[in-house]
């Protein structure tokens, strides 16, 4: 069975909306998700041959609702089956609401009764549409571990009888923190896909930007929500320049800046300008500020690397982690030379969180090349190429290794 790209994009966009609609109407998150998955499969089979319905979301809601009726009929007594069937008469297009329940679904998946790791994993699966394997790579854990985590999270929602409602004001900060992290991870998986033939997955980055915009509209007073939207816009603005026509990778230093999306840059800079200094600084404000420095520079050589390094130093205090240190090493190398960056990279060698990613070796290879050690750089490039499942990144790293032969 083959599904064309437009149909796949449409199904990915509609899936969380349909799931949100069903959960709001019927509850039982796990049963609703199973029903939505069956409806998506039916659409993937039928739409390429029969055409996309006039109201595809209502079509999916109707099919998924019927699946729920079938499920509950098989589990109930005759009288109860008849009551359920009557109560769950499928929605007609006239009854269909334009309300987008995706944000409610986000907050349900980020309920405080779930562990933070389960919140992230479940939301990426239900709202972001990522596969279990993609989520596992985002968390740097084995796929089997992630599958168990998602299953436990769904069972926890069922057991706790969680309501499909926006959180109370007192709960919002903690719930919002997880939602922001989820959207950040969804965007990152789309911006540099962890596997496959394409460097970029527009379905994921577009959905992350859409949800970040909706979230900002819902909580306009939240500085970090505005900052996340700014960060995603400022980063996504470079999309058109990140690959050549053949799909090969173009590093930031070599990108054509005239291809960058000025509208997104202007919107992102306006958002972060309004946000900085209005509240206690957070990680997304700092990352957005770093992205703004890059986007405002006329060229790579004219980039204010000392400012970027200073921002990374603050970010490492506010939100420490190996990826922040990795990025600070790159900035440090631009300011104080490659050996300074390599020394900082050495502090990550014993960090288990870097064992499932190729990025440490990729950055080390680049800095070793700049430092004039081609043999060591070649070995690091090859290690990085073997460690990534992204075909464009494999080719990019292998090509650099071959040039140093």
Distance CA 179, CA 356 (A): 24
Distance CA 91, CA 28 (A): 18
Q: Is the predicted pLDDT of residue 181 greater than 80, yes or no?
A: yes
Quick one: what percent of the chain has pLDDT higher than 90? 42
Among 238, 361, 369, smallest CA distance to 300 is for: 238
Q: Of the CATH numbers 1.25.40.10, 1.10.1500.10, 3.40.50.180, 3.40.50.300, which one belongs to the domain with range 304-405?
A: 1.25.40.10
Tokens 């909306």 belong to residue: 17
Report the DSSP beta bridge partners of residue 243: 249
Report the DSSP beta bridge partners of residue 195: 389
Residue 196: DSSP 8-state: E
Burial class (CB in 10 A: 0-12, 13-18, 19+), 325: buried
Among 254, 258, 232, smallest CA distance to 243 is for: 254
The angle at the Cα of 242, spanning 336 to 3, to the nearest 5 degrees, equals: 145
Backbone angles phi, psi at 127, to 5 degrees: -105, -45
Distance CA 204, CA 128 (A): 7
Contacts of residues 277-284 at CB distance under 8 Å and 24 or more positions apart, as own/partner, are: 278/223, 279/223, 281/314, 281/318, 282/223, 282/224, 282/227, 282/318, 282/319, 283/224, 283/315, 283/318, 283/319, 284/180, 284/184, 284/224, 284/227, 284/228, 284/230, 284/231
Q: Is the predicted pLDDT of residue 22 greater than 80, yes or no?
A: yes
Would you mind telling me the total number of residues written for the chain in this entry?
405
* Inter-residue contact 102 to 211 (CB < 8 Å): yes
Token pair recorded at residue 291 = 């992205």
Distance CA 332, CA 344 (A): 8
* Inter-residue contact 17 to 102 (CB < 8 Å): yes
Per-residue confidence at 86, pLDDT binned at 50, 70, 90? very low
CA distances from 127 to 14, 182, 203 (A): 10, 9, 12
Segments making up each domain of the chain, as ranges: 5-87, 101-145+171-192+200-219, 221-246+254-295, 304-405
The model's pTM is: 0.77
- For the stretch 128-152, pLDDT in tens is 777 788 788 767 678 899 988 888 8
Instruction: Provide the pairing of β-strand 195-196 with 389-390.
Output: parallel
Model pLDDT, residue 76: 54
Model pLDDT, residue 172: 79
Query: Range with the lowest mean pLDDT among 132-136, 214-218, 240-244, 320-324?
Result: 132-136
Mean of the per-residue pLDDT values of the chain? 85
Other C-beta atoms lying within 10 Å of the C-beta of residue 356: 13
Among 87, 23, 30, smallest CA distance to 61 is for: 23
Per-residue confidence at 78, pLDDT binned at 50, 70, 90? very low
Token pair recorded at residue 341 = 């960056």
Q: Is the predicted pLDDT of residue 156 greater than 80, yes or no?
A: yes
Task: State the alpha helices, DSSP H only, in 319-390.
Answer: 322-336, 338-345, 359-370, 374-387
- For the stretch 37-70, pLDDT in tens is 888 888 888 898 888 888 999 999 988 888 887 7
Model pLDDT, residue 80: 52
Query: Range with the lowest mean pLDDT among 13-22, 298-307, 377-386?
Result: 13-22
Backbone angles phi, psi at 196, to 5 degrees: 105, 180
Most confident range (mean pLDDT) of 36-50, 105-119, 275-289, 307-321 is 307-321
Other C-beta atoms lying within 10 Å of the C-beta of residue 378: 19
Quick one: what percent of the chain has pLDDT higher than 70? 90
Most confident range (mean pLDDT) of 40-54, 165-179, 215-229 is 215-229
Token pair recorded at residue 200 = 């970029």
């Amino acid at each position: 069975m083959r599904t064309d790209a437009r149909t796949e994009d449409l199904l990915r966009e509609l899936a969380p909306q349909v799931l949100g609609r069903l959960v709001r109407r019927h509850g039982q998150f796990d049963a609703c998700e199973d029903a939505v998955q069956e409806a998506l499969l039916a659409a993937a089979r039928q739409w390429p041959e029969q055409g996309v319905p006039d109201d595809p979301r209502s079509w999916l809601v109707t099919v998924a609702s019927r699946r729920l009726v079938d499920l509950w009929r098989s589990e109930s007594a005759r009288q109860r089956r008849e009551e359920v069937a009557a109560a769950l008469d499928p929605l007609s297009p006239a009854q269909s609401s334009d309300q987008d329940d995706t944000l409610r679904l986000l907050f349900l998946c980020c309920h405080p009764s779930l562990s933070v790791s389960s919140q992230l994993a479940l939301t990426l699966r239900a709202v972001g549409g990522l596969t279990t394997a993609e989520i596992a790579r985002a968390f740097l854990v084995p796929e089997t571990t992630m599958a168990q985590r998602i299953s436990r999270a769904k069972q926890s929602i069922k057991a706790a009888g969680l309501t499909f409602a926006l959180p109370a004001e007192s709960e919002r900060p903690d719930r919002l923190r997880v939602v922001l992290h989820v959207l950040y991870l969804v965007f990152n998986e789309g911006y540099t896909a962890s596997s496959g033939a394409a460097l970029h997955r527009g379905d994921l980055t577009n959905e992350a930007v859409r949800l970040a915009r909706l979230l900002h509209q819902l909580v306009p007073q939240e500085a970090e929500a505005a900052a996340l939207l700014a960060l995603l816009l400022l980063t996504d603005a470079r999309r058109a320049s990140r690959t050549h026509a053949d799909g090969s990778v173009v590093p930031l230093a070599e990108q054509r800046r005239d291809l960058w999306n000025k509208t997104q840059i202007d919107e992102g800079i306006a958002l972060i300008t309004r946000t900085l200094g209005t509240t206690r600084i957070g990680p997304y404000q700092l990352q957005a500020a770093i992205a703004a420095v890059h986007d405002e520079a006329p060229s790579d050589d004219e980039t204010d690397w000392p400012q970027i390094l200073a921002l990374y130093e603050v970010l490492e205090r506010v939100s420490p982690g190996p990826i922040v240190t990795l990025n600070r090493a790159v900035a440090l190398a631009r300011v104080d030379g490659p050996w300074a960056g390599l020394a900082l990279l050495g502090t990550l060698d014993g960090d288990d969180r870097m064992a499932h990613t190729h990025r440490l070796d990729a950055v080390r290879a680049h800095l070793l090349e700049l430092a004039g050690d081609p043999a060591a750089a070649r070995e690091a490039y090859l290690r990085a190429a073997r460690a990534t499942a992204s075909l464009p990144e494999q080719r990019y790293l292998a090509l650099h290794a071959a040039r140093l032969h």
